[in-house]
Amino acid sequence: MTKLGIIIASARPNRIGQHVAQWVLGAAADRFDVDVIDLREVALPAFDGLTSPKAGEEKTTEHARAWGERIEALDAVVILTPQYNGSYPGALKNAIDFLYAEWSGLPTLLVGYGWNSANEVLPLLETLMTRVGAQLVGSIGLGFREDLSVEGELFVAEEKAAALETGLAALEAHALTPVA
């Protein structure tokens, strides 16, 4: 069975990411072996490696090794990100920056949420994930009012639920097809 990571990017105490994660998990649980990865629990310090992850050298800290092994174990990933001040949370940027090879070729679906369907954060995260070599299969933006409340109650529009199904199918297909 394909191993899917669902990354909850927000580490804020008043976040709603866990509600969005439950929505994704509900659609994914029957067809994937799921690892829900909560960046608040992972709690990586600010990047403290002695060399750039892009250099491909051995990781020098236990937390970097553990984080790399957790992502390396995945066949695909869904990254859930809020839009904070037009961008993604610092915890997410830091978690991405800790690694390089582990993201390369990893089938990735982005799910953003916030005002205006997260239309500012998704292009930024697409650029970042492309830069680290992830294999993007799509992006879905959930908007306050039309798809969820600011408290986290979800009432996702049918076309976005269908987009999630399409994205999960693409993750599954890409995970089963080796990158050339």
Q: Is the dihedral of CA 61, 17, 73, 57 positive or negative?
A: negative
State yes or no: pLDDT of 97 exceeds 90. yes
H/E element, 74: none
pLDDT value, residue 28: 97
Does domain 3-176 fall under CATH 1.10.760.10? My reply is: no
The C-alpha atoms of residue 55 and residue 157 are separated, in whole angstroms, by 43
State yes or no: pLDDT of 180 exceeds 60. no
Phi, psi for residue 81 in degrees, rounded to 5:
-135, 135
Phi, psi for residue 64 in degrees, rounded to 5:
-70, -40
At 176, the pLDDT band (50, 70, 90 cuts) reads confident
Which of 117, 121, 130 minimizes the C-alpha distance to 163?
117
Mean pLDDT of the region 28-51: 96
pLDDT value, residue 179: 59
97 Cβ partners below 8 Å, 6+ apart?
A: 47, 53
In the chain, domain spans: 3-176
Residue 39, amino acid? L
The C-alpha atoms of residue 151 and residue 36 are separated, in whole angstroms, by 21
Residue 22, amino acid? Q
Structure confidence by residue, pLDDT tens digits, 103-125: 999 999 999 999 999 999 999 99
